[in-house]
Amino acid sequence: MAKSSRNSKASASNGSARGAKATIHDQELSRGNGGELHQVTDGATEVLTTAQGAPISDDQNSLRVGQRGPTLIEDFHFREKIFHFDHERIPERVVHARGYGAHGYFETYESLAKYTRADIFQRAGERTPAFVRFSTVAGSKGSFDLARDVRGFAVKLYTQEGNWDLVGNNIPVFFIQDAIKFPDVIHSVKPEPDRAFPQAQSAHDNFWDFISLTPESMHMIMWVMSDRAIPRSFRFMEGFGVHTFRFVNAKNESTFVKFIWKPKLGLQSVVWNEAVKINGAEPDFHRRDLWDAIQSGNFPEWELCVQLFDQNFADSFDFDILDPTKIIPEEIIKAMPVGRLVLDRMPDNFFAETEQVAFMTQNVPPGIDFSNDPLLQGRNFSYLDTQLKRLGSPNFTHIPINAPKCPFHHFQQDGHMAMRNPVGRANYEPNSWGMGPRENPQKGFRTFPNQEEGQKVRLRAESFADHYSQARQFFVSQTVTEQRHIAMALTFELSKVETPSIRERMVSHLLNIDEGLAETVAEKLGIRKLPKRADPAVEPRDDLPPSDPLSIIKNGPESFKGRKVGVLVSDGCDATLVSDLETALAKEGATMEIVAPRVGGVEASDGSHIEGKQMIDGGPSVLYDAVALIVSPEGAEKLTKEAATRDFVADAFAHCKFIGYVAAAQPLLDKAGVEPDEGVIPLASKADISPFIEACSKLRLWAREPTVKL
């Protein structure tokens, strides 16, 4: 008796904390419908209701017979609550399941009317609302952010003539040339079906088996084995439309176009050893980074660049412009900036927006059209199909995140969850009631009338046959450091392959790309006798010149803006130095985070308190772009005893980061086995701060890497 009455008291007091503001569900309702929100209130706070609007008296106890008796099925509130909970999950995306999105806008620089009638490109300075979702490809929704993987870069632009979805990746080429191979490449990379592992990894037999049997994937493999596949942040990666598209102008003239998003803050990736550790320390590393940047007003920005070319160029180019395993180097066709994308607002609700957003390659406004790229053609089929499976109804366009923001009128009706139906008698056209919308040949989307003819065949064009030349071009465009990373990535991945013949088959392909690379990988894998090189469909070329835009290191930032320093402090540390560093970093547009022995913080030499953001175990140096060690002699003495401190310093050094340190921190460097070089920078006084930040803007001291042998 006494027990149950205590419970019900607790429930009453729990209840008083409820409803301090409108529930998320209510907010969604009021926004989604734009209509009046019916609120039941007791005058002070809103009253909790069922989804049908009935006020609820007790949300702590289900209805039962007596205090200890069976629960009653007539408890409609309990039934509805559990029913809804049981149905909260929807299928995750079959690829790109793990993603993170943000709102923003696209601003057009100049009119592109000469090339396209797309409304978004007509007026200089015009802003178009945008929603972007970044993603990994292979892992499931709950996987970690730093998987070695392609990143999705999907942009929805709510133009005044309908939604334009540019559903791209952070890599400009793809694994396959024909959409019919998509299920195969994806099955091979996903967890193996009998054992259901490994999760979010390509380092396993099935993937490399498929790849080594698919020479057209070799160019993509070079990119995926490069640091492009382990970006430091969504903010520091490029996006590519991949396929050749068409611009079509008002005179119905067509220009081919490729789209590239270039981050204003320059390119940056992490190293593999770091990625592995980030995944353990902060599986949401990329999510948190985007969240923190936007919430603090440091809005990430990209420039949209277009490569424009005509049929004459297409006919004369060394490769087929319809082949999605090829790029057009920027030295050959300039990437012209045409606008900028700014992300300035996080969604109010992850599920409603980021999860339910439905991107579709076939969402193009008048003035943008497709090419015959067989991958693009296949995608145009797939994306509509997949939304029906995932979102469960053809009315997924009624979900606010997917609905156009321009006026729209059609006669589609009914179906599950229909929110909008035609009003009035007419739900067809033509009708003689004079009701409803009609098509408009001038304003409407007109497909570019490209002449097409030929036999129906299942044939791959000869012009798609060269699988190695651009893979080599990518490799020779990299700095020595980046080439080393590619060799290490291939070695790592293939070391996880248990079948020796698959490893060898891969090396036989590498021989067609770069002999030195093949030899290094073979040697590191312990392959004693080099296999014969793979038989190429077309003899690879070695005369394609290096292209600088393909390297990350050659396209790094101009400053340390947008980056973060991890500052390790202890009791008795120099408070002025800490605050001077913070001020200087803020001036640079960078931030710092205090890592302390206790998250409660430390007492500095002047008696002031410095609050910790992370305790040392929770803030390893892999989370930062550079580190500073600002400790007192006593603090250093204590910290050297902690394994986490040693890792903090040793990892920062091994990952080639810049390390600023006060003299008292010397024991920490010694304990971590740091051999000072120009990247280990004394911070004796305020005057040392600016050279330290200047050095940090180079991001890494790559010259150190051969000595740390990562």
Give min distance, CB of 136 to ligand HDE, in A: 10
Residue of 332, 374, 373, 375 lying closest to 473 (CA atoms): 332
Query: Which residue in 22, 94, 584, 599 binds ligand HDE (CB under 6 A)?
Result: 94
Query: Which residue in 77, 103, 117, 133 binds ligand HDE (CB under 6 A)?
Result: 133
Annotate 240-284 with DSSP letters as a single string.
E--S-EEEE-TT--EEEEEEEEEETT---B--HHHHHHHHHH-TT
* Closest to ligand HDE by CB, 241 or 339: 241
Query: How deeply is 1 buried, as exposed, middle or buried, from its count of CB atoms within 10 A (0-12, 13-18, 19+)?
Result: exposed
Q: Any idea what DSSP says for residue 114?
A: T
* Closest to ligand HDE by CB, 255 or 402: 402
Please list the residues that pair with 129 across neighbouring strands: 105
* Closest to ligand HDE by CB, 272 or 319: 319
Catalytic residue, candidates 77, 96, 103, 485:
96
Q: Any idea what DSSP says for residue 41?
A: B
Of 375-383, 582-590, 650-658, 682-690, the window that binds ligand HDE (rule: CB under 6 A) is 375-383
Q: Please report whether residue 382 would count as binding ligand HDE according to CB under 6 A.
A: yes
Is 109 marked as binding a ligand?
no
Give min distance, CB of 422 to ligand HDE, in A: 27
Is 287 marked as binding a ligand?
no
Query: Which residue in 19, 104, 139, 168 binds ligand HDE (CB under 6 A)?
Result: 168
Q: From CA 701, how far away is CA 653, in angstroms rounded?
A: 9
Of 295-303, 374-382, 538-546, 695-703, the window that binds ligand HDE (rule: CB under 6 A) is 374-382
Q: Please report whether residue 95 would count as binding ligand HDE according to CB under 6 A.
A: yes
Give min distance, CB of 424 to ligand HDE, in A: 34
Is 468 marked as binding a ligand?
no
Q: Please report whether residue 378 would count as binding ligand HDE according to CB under 6 A.
A: yes
Query: Which residue in 375, 534, 602, 689 binds ligand HDE (CB under 6 A)?
Result: 375
Give min distance, CB of 459 to ligand HDE, in A: 18
Q: From CA 511, how far away is CA 530, in angstroms rounded?
A: 9
- Considering only residues 221 to 250 of the shown chain, the ones binding ligand HDE according to CB under 6 A are 242
Cβ contacts of 360 within 8 Å, gap of 6 or more = 165, 167, 380, 383, 384, 387
Sign of CA pseudo-dihedral 678, 683, 689, 690: negative
Of 110-118, 306-314, 378-386, 461-469, the window that binds ligand HDE (rule: CB under 6 A) is 378-386
Site mask, ligand HDE, residues 261-280, x = CB under 6 A?
Answer: --------------------
- How many chain residues interact with ligand HDE (CB under 6 A)? 24
Helices 272-281 and 480-495 meet at what angle, rounded to 10?
60
Query: Which residue in 19, 28, 49, 93 binds ligand HDE (CB under 6 A)?
Result: 93
Sign of CA pseudo-dihedral 80, 83, 86, 91: negative
Query: Which residue in 112, 120, 154, 513 binds ligand HDE (CB under 6 A)?
Result: 154
* Closest to ligand HDE by CB, 78 or 383: 383
Catalytic residue, candidates 77, 103, 163, 169:
169
Is 7 noted as a catalytic residue in this protein? no
Cβ contacts of 604 within 8 Å, gap of 6 or more = 569, 571, 572, 573, 574, 575, 578, 610
Give min distance, CB of 160 to ligand HDE, in A: 23
* Whether the Cβ atoms of residue 375 and residue 248 lie closer than 8 Å to each other: no
Kindly list the distances between the CA atom of residue 403 and the CA atoms of 146, 199, 346, 356, 439, in Å, as whole numbers in the listed order: 32, 34, 18, 11, 20
Q: From CA 685, how far away is CA 662, in angstroms rounded?
A: 9
Q: Please report whether residue 379 would count as binding ligand HDE according to CB under 6 A.
A: yes
Q: Please report whether residue 286 would count as binding ligand HDE according to CB under 6 A.
A: no
The residue sitting closest to ligand HDE, measured at its beta carbon, is: 152
Q: From CA 581, how far away is CA 355, in angstroms rounded?
A: 39
Q: From CA 103, how far away is CA 129, in angstroms rounded?
A: 8
Query: Which residue in 99, 191, 339, 679 binds ligand HDE (CB under 6 A)?
Result: 99
- Considering only residues 318 to 347 of the shown chain, the ones binding ligand HDE according to CB under 6 A are 324
Q: Please report whether residue 152 would count as binding ligand HDE according to CB under 6 A.
A: yes
Kindly list the distances between the CA atom of residue 160 and the CA atoms of 157, 164, 165, 337, in Å, as whole numbers in the listed order: 9, 10, 13, 21
Give min distance, CB of 271 to ligand HDE, in A: 25
Instruction: Give how far the C-alpha of residue 581 lies from the chain's centroid of Cα atoms, to the nearest Å.
Output: 31
Give min distance, CB of 355 to ligand HDE, in A: 9
* Closest to ligand HDE by CB, 174 or 247: 174
Q: Please report whether residue 32 would count as binding ligand HDE according to CB under 6 A.
A: no
Query: Which residue in 122, 199, 362, 386 binds ligand HDE (CB under 6 A)?
Result: 386
Please list the residues that pair with 340 across neighbouring strands: 107, 303
Is 383 marked as binding a ligand?
yes
Q: From CA 43, how far away is CA 48, in angstroms rounded?
A: 13
Is 93 marked as binding a ligand?
yes
Is 379 marked as binding a ligand?
yes
* Closest to ligand HDE by CB, 147 or 167: 167
Kindly list the distances between the CA atom of residue 552 and the CA atoms of 262, 321, 478, in Å, as whole numbers in the listed order: 12, 24, 8
Residue of 480, 379, 396 lying closest to 702 (CA atoms): 480
Residue of 34, 25, 23 lying closest to 420 (CA atoms): 34
Strand runs labelled E in 26-112: 99-108
Is 416 noted as a catalytic residue in this protein? no
Give min distance, CB of 138 to ligand HDE, in A: 12
The amino acid sitting at 605 is: S
Q: Please report whether residue 364 would count as binding ligand HDE according to CB under 6 A.
A: no
Q: Helices marked H in 406-499 — which ranges?
A: 469-476, 480-495
Annotate 339-378 with DSSP letters as a single string.
EEEEEEE--S-HIIIIIT----TT---TTEEE---HHHHH
Q: Please report whether residue 96 would count as binding ligand HDE according to CB under 6 A.
A: yes
- Considering only residues 169 to 208 of the shown chain, the ones binding ligand HDE according to CB under 6 A are 169, 174, 179, 182
Place of tokens 């050659």: 554
Known binding positions for heme:
93, 133, 182, 379, 383, 390
Catalog residues that contact ligand HDE under the rule CB under 6 A: 93-96, 99, 133, 135, 152, 154, 167-169, 174, 179, 182, 242, 324, 359, 375, 378-379, 382-383, 386
Known binding positions:
93, 133, 182, 379, 383, 390
Active site residues: 96, 169
